[in-house]
Chain A
Amino acid sequence: MSGFADLLAAEIRRERAGLLRAALLAAAVAAATAMLLGLSGWFITAAGAAGLAGAAAGFNYLLPSATIRLLAIVRTGARYGERLAGHAAAFAVLAQVRPALYRAIAGSPPAAALALTSGEASARLVQDVGAIEMAIARRPARAGAAAAIAAGGLLILSVRPVAALLFLLLAGMAVGLTGWSCRRLDEAGQEVQRRQGALRELLGLQLAAAPELRCYRMEDAAIARIAAADAALADARRRQAAAGGAIEAIGALATGAAAVGVFLLAMPAGTALAALGALTAAAAMDGIMPALRERAARSATREAAARLGALFMPDPPPFPKPRSAALTLPGVGTLVPAGARIAITGATGTGKTSLVEAMIGLRHHDAPGIRLGDMPLAALPAATLRAIFAWAPQDAQLLAGTVRDNLLLADPDAAERALWDALDAACLAGVVRALPHGLDSWIGENGEQLSGGERRRLSLARAYLSRAPWLLLDEPTEALDAPTERAVVERLTQRLARTGQGLIAVTHRDAVAVLCTVHVSPATCRAIDPGTPHRAVRVLAPVD
């Protein structure tokens, strides 16, 4: 929490000048609004009296009418400037907050970082960062309210002190009552957050179980459960809206009471001045409303800040580094990368991918007996592991961007030649050459413009580009047809011989398994006898 709060406070401090300008302009708007309406009221009332008395000739109409027009222009210009300055400051703050947010997510422990779905991250970025942005842009409202009270108070004071006292009393009551309502609003807001979290979790669970629910025709029951959670959320929202409505009602009541009360108390000073007082009071109260709404929105802002703050975690302590990249596997021995070809095999669900993810520091795993150099695998920091293994994940995950963007992820300094070499080794150079913009072709979100096999080969090419001592390939030929699979394996063999990198492959494909000299099972991490590779033979049953 404090990590984010400190960052935000520091960034807001940096934008002090802009926020101050916005606050001054907001004050000018509020003061001009109160004075415009008050002066107009006085003007026509006094003019009416002068007209009746036949004293129109002696009435100085030039000054008030010019002031009225001037106030109208000041109000418009100041409003424009205030909004621009407030938003400029807010955007400048957020331009720093967004990358910091990504750094914080990337730097948190893998279990927390990887549990965040991109939808949720997007919601944090759009809604919560948006709420903070609105809050910063709304900050000048407080200065506006202060100016409205000051300008209104002074103008009414010049009419009759007791009326000004009533005005200040009512303004104070409005602010105080709003503060009291806001406590209820805060509670309701927290309840909304809790219920929304519960709905999110329930939806996630029920939708993940959709196949079971459909098979047993339990979908309607699940939908009813979700509707019940949604109704609970709606109920919390209703309470939140009621508290928000109370603030609007307080504002309307205070405006009316101030206008009427000030008029009555100012009557002894004459109708014209009483009219000035009444309209000034009404306009000034109206000028306080944005600040009351800003106060009401603060609970939502606090919740947004708390959610963002939860993503900021303290930095992990430093860890030692291994002296070499030699890999020790229990029951197998120590292998240096050059020439080593290890296959991790085993049935579905035996923990092959978990082991691989532990090696790349994306998952915590005891990995008993596995050592890297002189250190147990589990004791090594993620950054060290990631420099030692070049990973091609099972789901061949790609960035939304170009082919080049994806390749450069592994080595930002790679030369053009090296990119094509890696693509060639993954049997993808021909495909990329045929794309309209070659390396700079946009491949869509997670490579959706490519086929499944092309995605996998791009992910392989990316791993090849890394100069890490070990290639860690999770199901490298899954979803490839047989001729491509053969070509990929052949070029992989050639490339390994050339680069001297070691290979660790999770696979159930024979073409890859035969390439490997050591076969291990993740459960025991002991060498297993590969035996005769079981060939996938399909026996067609007779059809009648």
Chain B
Amino acid sequence: MTPIAAPRRPGRAPLGDLARPSRAAAALMVGDTVAAIGFAGGLAGAVSGAAWWLTLALAAAAARAGIAWVLSGCAAAAGRGTVAAARIRIVRAAFHAGPEARPTSSAWVGTAVDDVDALDGYAARFLPARGAAVIGPLAVLTAIAFASPVSAAILFATLIPFVAAMALAGGAAADRSRRQFVALARLSSLFADRVRALPVVLAFRAEEREAARIGTASQDLASRTMAVLRVAFLSSGALEFFAALSVALVAVYCGFALLGLLPVAIPERLTLGRAFFALALAPEFYAPMRRLAAAYHERQAAETAAARLRPMLDRPVPPAPVVVRHPPRLVFDRVTIRYPDADRAAVADFCLTVMPGETVALVGASGSGKSSLLRTLLGLAPVRAGAIFVGEARLPPGAGVAAAWAGQDPLLLPGTIAEAIAIADPAAPRERIAAAAAAAGLEAALSRRPGGLDAPLDARGGGLSGGERRRIGIARALLNDAPLLLLDEPTAHLDTAAEEEMIHAIAVACAGRTALIATHSSRLAAIADRVVRL
């Protein structure tokens, strides 16, 4: 499970380059405000007695509808661009994660799907709204100033207490809402943790107790959230209040000015048309800011997601696999392998030299470190001390060798059997794939299936037995002509006759390559040039 960290400060978003602002969407939002000005102008013209002005109002309404339509597409495109870019980055990071503290693939999937999706709303709605939140009100203010400078001054004057109220209530609200977000994050961590630990919770029959604990935490969150919202809504209350007040003040001022009842002389000559224009446009003054406030939670969600994405993206990328052209000499010089979660080294101070083209069998009890030695060559097991030399060069920490490898549990992806084998060499002609499959002893399995090599496999291996899956791994290793061959228990779970065949195929595959075979089988070990006991 990935820890859920809350954003520290709203002002310093950790989003940085994760989200791309869309200028077009912000420009369209400003365009909407301009169309609103046109609409108000049209109505005001009609009120002044020229009905043909209504055509302007209608045109402006149509323009607003068109802008709303295009804007939704444009904002969604900005969101999609952000999501696609972030997703490809996190997927690359996941594939290149080193052997150190590698999170489980499900943690990566959760981050790559859910956390990346949380950036969508931020880029699609929050960023454009923020871009338009300053220019929009300014455009409205300018338009009103042409019709009635005093009305514009009234609107501007309401902005000053509004900003002060936002700074006071908004600051407190943002701080509290951040704390509430932390409480929600804690609750969801608790929930996720108890789902992760479900096997032990169930085994000790504690599910009811843990559900009650989640219930208590949930109640606590609810009461705490309400305390927060009482303050948080004050800032949106301030927004509402000043939006309503600005309309009311403009209406009262204009009304009294038109009646000539104002106690002081006003520096403008107000006509009904101008007054009506100012009034009809007044609600638009606060509209961009309301739009921004409505998108505020998108930003919170994105910041929380970014806090989880960052450490995964910033992980050091291990070097690319070392490619060897000829059968290499391998030297393990006092190599110690210890996994991050173990006190005991899987392999300690191991020394071995394998000559070019030599086949070495590694034998020993389970847990003696045979697989770990093969995995270090693939960059999958952390070397804590010592050095590995491939040919003349030292293997950089975390790097692997591009080798032909068959592990204990070959992973299969959805596709055909031929595609599953061809992962080792996508350019291989079909005859070679068929030959590799035959050499790995897959013929019986193929003849049983309609389509043979083209029989489909699903994600779970499409009904292949454990032994057949292993044979696919062997077929891959046979198809790939890398000069280093690594086989991990290639004959486990095979009966004697099948093992005999497989040993023959392995012997052929080992010819002309440097090969390391981890095995329990003495018959397989017998084909090796040398047997090393761990």
Q: Is the CB of B73 within 8 A of A215?
A: no
Specify which of A122, A251, A362 is in contact with B1 (CB 8 Å cutoff): A122
A271 / chain B contacts, CB cutoff of 8 Å: 47, 49
- Who on chain A is nearest to B271 by CB? A48
Assembly CA distance A248 to B72 (angstroms):
8
Q: Is the CB of B109 within 8 A of A119?
A: yes
Determine, out of B362-370, B494-502, B508-516, the stretch whose residues face the partner at the interface: B362-370
Q: Is the CB of A397 within 8 A of B248?
A: no
- Who on chain A is nearest to B68 by CB? A248
- Who on chain B is nearest to A240 by CB? B76
Interface residues of A in 249-296 (CB under 8 A from B): 249-253, 255-257, 259-260, 263-264, 267, 271, 274-275, 278-279, 282-283
Specify which of A91, A211, A237 is in contact with B407 (CB 8 Å cutoff): A211
Least Cβ distance of A37 to chain B in Å?
Answer: 7
| Contact of B61 with A by CB under 8 A | yes
Q: Is the CB of B532 within 8 A of A260?
A: no
Specify which of B114, B245, B333, B476 is in contact with A127 (CB 8 Å cutoff): B114
Determine, out of A198-206, A368-376, A490-498, the stretch whose residues face the partner at the interface: A198-206
Q: Mark A381-415, 1 if CB is under 8 A from B, else 0.
A: 01100110111010001111000000001101000
**Supplied contacts A47-B259, A50-B258, A56-B259, 8 more A-B pairs, CB within 8 Å:** A47-B256, A72-B244, A98-B187, A102-B207, A116-B195, A212-B410, A219-B96, A241-B75
Q: Mark A59-103, 1 if CB is under 8 A from B, else 0.
A: 101001100110111011001100110011001101110111011
Determine the main DSSP class of A at the interface with B. Answer: helix
Q: Is the CB of A203 within 8 A of B113?
A: yes
Least Cβ distance of B58 to chain A in Å?
Answer: 5
Least Cβ distance of A198 to chain B in Å?
Answer: 11
A205 / chain B contacts, CB cutoff of 8 Å: 411, 413-414, 459
Q: Is the CB of B400 within 8 A of A214?
A: yes
* Given known A-B contacts A51-B259, A218-B423, A349-B492, A212 and B206 have beta carbons under 8 A apart: no
Q: Is the CB of B240 within 8 A of A107?
A: no
Specify which of B197, B222, B250 is in contact with A399 (CB 8 Å cutoff): B197
Determine, out of A140-148, A221-229, A314-322, A433-441, the stretch whose residues face the partner at the interface: A221-229
B368 / chain A contacts, CB cutoff of 8 Å: 536, 538
| Contact of B212 with A by CB under 8 A | yes
Assembly CA distance A274 to B197 (angstroms):
67
Specify which of A107, A123, A386, A452 is in contact with B114 (CB 8 Å cutoff): A123
Assembly CA distance A215 to B379 (angstroms):
9
A240 / chain B contacts, CB cutoff of 8 Å: 76
Q: Is the CB of B106 within 8 A of A391?
A: no
Q: Is the CB of B200 within 8 A of A217?
A: no
| Contact of A508 with B by CB under 8 A | yes
Assembly CA distance A462 to B256 (angstroms):
80
Least Cβ distance of A342 to chain B in Å?
Answer: 18
| Contact of B344 with A by CB under 8 A | yes
A61 / chain B contacts, CB cutoff of 8 Å: 255-256, 259, 261
- Who on chain B is nearest to A271 by CB? B47
Interface residues on A, range: 35 or more
| Contact of A246 with B by CB under 8 A | yes
Interface size on B, residues (CB 8 A): 169
| Contact of B71 with A by CB under 8 A | yes
A127 / chain B contacts, CB cutoff of 8 Å: 114
| Contact of A245 with B by CB under 8 A | yes
Q: Is the CB of B80 within 8 A of A237?
A: yes
| Contact of B475 with A by CB under 8 A | no
| Contact of A9 with B by CB under 8 A | no
Determine the main DSSP class of B at the interface with A. Answer: helix
Q: Is the CB of A47 within 8 A of B218?
A: no
Assembly CA distance A92 to B333 (angstroms):
63
* Given known A-B contacts A87-B229, A103-B211, A400-B190, A536 and B254 have beta carbons under 8 A apart: no
- Who on chain B is nearest to A226 by CB? B91
A279 / chain B contacts, CB cutoff of 8 Å: 43, 279-280
Assembly CA distance A349 to B49 (angstroms):
89
Assembly CA distance A469 to B61 (angstroms):
78
Q: Is the CB of B72 within 8 A of A241?
A: yes
Q: Is the CB of B80 within 8 A of A253?
A: no
* Given known A-B contacts A106-B198, A207-B95, A242-B73, A44 and B378 have beta carbons under 8 A apart: no
- Who on chain B is nearest to A91 by CB? B222
| Contact of A190 with B by CB under 8 A | no
Q: Is the CB of A208 within 8 A of B411?
A: yes
A509 / chain B contacts, CB cutoff of 8 Å: 367
| Contact of B343 with A by CB under 8 A | yes
Assembly CA distance A279 to B353 (angstroms):
89
A84 / chain B contacts, CB cutoff of 8 Å: 226, 229-230, 233
